[in-house]
Amino acid sequence: MCPGANPKEGGGFVRRDYELGFILNPEVNEEQTRAILERVEQVVANHDGQIVRINQWGRRRLGYPIEHHRDGFYVFIDMILTPETVIELDRTLKVSEEVLRHLIKRRDPKTVQKEREARAAAAAAAAAPTTAPAAPEAEAGAEDEMAVPTGDFPAGQEGEIPSGLSAEEIEDVPPAIEDEESVEA
């Protein structure tokens, strides 16, 4: 069995989320940049991959000179690929003279899942009508039962919320105990 193959899916390769970051020669013009991006898109498409997002940072100062260049054109691409595609993409970028440096990194699945949920929530919010009927009033009543006081309370008084705690942890926090000496003072 090949490395990266998933026996649960009949030995086929698993598609995973990757991020490709590369720095182009600063002397590369807009047309050449588009040609490089098209080459990357072609490799991804030929291997049944998917480009999720392309983020062009533009020309930035490098941390140190690379091939006598002080600046570079930064591009980051989020993709869904197989390990086989990663190898082909790496080979393609290595032979390109316009690419000063590149790195293909597997993205954290937890981060990717959070991003997908946020995008889905944003899409649902955009698709939802702006005027809502009486349903929000019923939801507001349910939220009041579980509401945690957030007003300004003097330190040490009941209702104070310790910072950095979640709603579940707040229930487990014992009430503040004050010394008689500090109360009298």
- 3-class SS letters over the chain: CCCCECHHHCCCECCEEEEEEEEECCCCCHHHHHHHHHHHHHHHHHCCCEEEEEEEEEEEEEEEEECCEEEEEEEEEEEEECHHHHHHHHHHHHCCCCEEEEEEEECCHHHHHHHHHHHHHHHHHHHCCCCCCCHHHHHHHHHHHCCCCCCCCCCCCCCCCCCCCCHHHHHHCCCCCCCHHHHHC
pLDDT above 50 (res 10): no
- Assign residue 94 the CATH number of its domain: 3.30.70.60
For all residues of the chain together, what is the average pLDDT?
A: 76
Mean pLDDT of 113-137: 75
Better-predicted residue by pLDDT, 81 or 155? 81
Query: Could you list the residue range(s) of the whole structural domain that residue 80 is in?
Result: 16-107
pLDDT band at 139 (very low <50, low <70, confident <90, very high): low
Residue 152 within a domain: no
Better-predicted residue by pLDDT, 47 or 172? 47
Residue 21 within a domain: yes
- 27 CB neighbour count, 10 Å cutoff: 10
Better-predicted residue by pLDDT, 24 or 127? 24
Torsion of CA 111, 115, 118, 123, to 10 degrees: -160
Strands 69-81 and 50-66: antiparallel
Residue 10 within a domain: no
Better-predicted residue by pLDDT, 11 or 81? 81
Mean pLDDT of 38-43: 93
Long-range pairs for 115-121: beta carbons < 8 A, 24 or more residues apart: none
pLDDT score of 134: 52
Are the C-beta atoms of residues 38 and 112 closer than 8 Å to each other? no
pLDDT score of 157: 45
In whole angstroms, what is the distance from residue 99 CA to residue 33 CA? 10
pLDDT score of 23: 95
pLDDT above 70 (res 176): no
Better-predicted residue by pLDDT, 59 or 172? 59
Residue 44 within a domain: yes
Residue 162 within a domain: no
pLDDT band at 160 (very low <50, low <70, confident <90, very high): very low
Residue 91 within a domain: yes
Instruction: Tell me the whole-structure pTM to 2 decimals.
Output: 0.59
pLDDT score of 162: 47
- pLDDT tens across 58-80, in order? 999 999 999 999 999 999 999 99
Residue 128 within a domain: no
Residue 121 within a domain: no
21: nearest Cα among 91, 102, 118, 108? 102
Domain count, the chain: 1
pLDDT above 80 (res 102): yes
pLDDT score of 153: 45
pLDDT above 60 (res 143): no
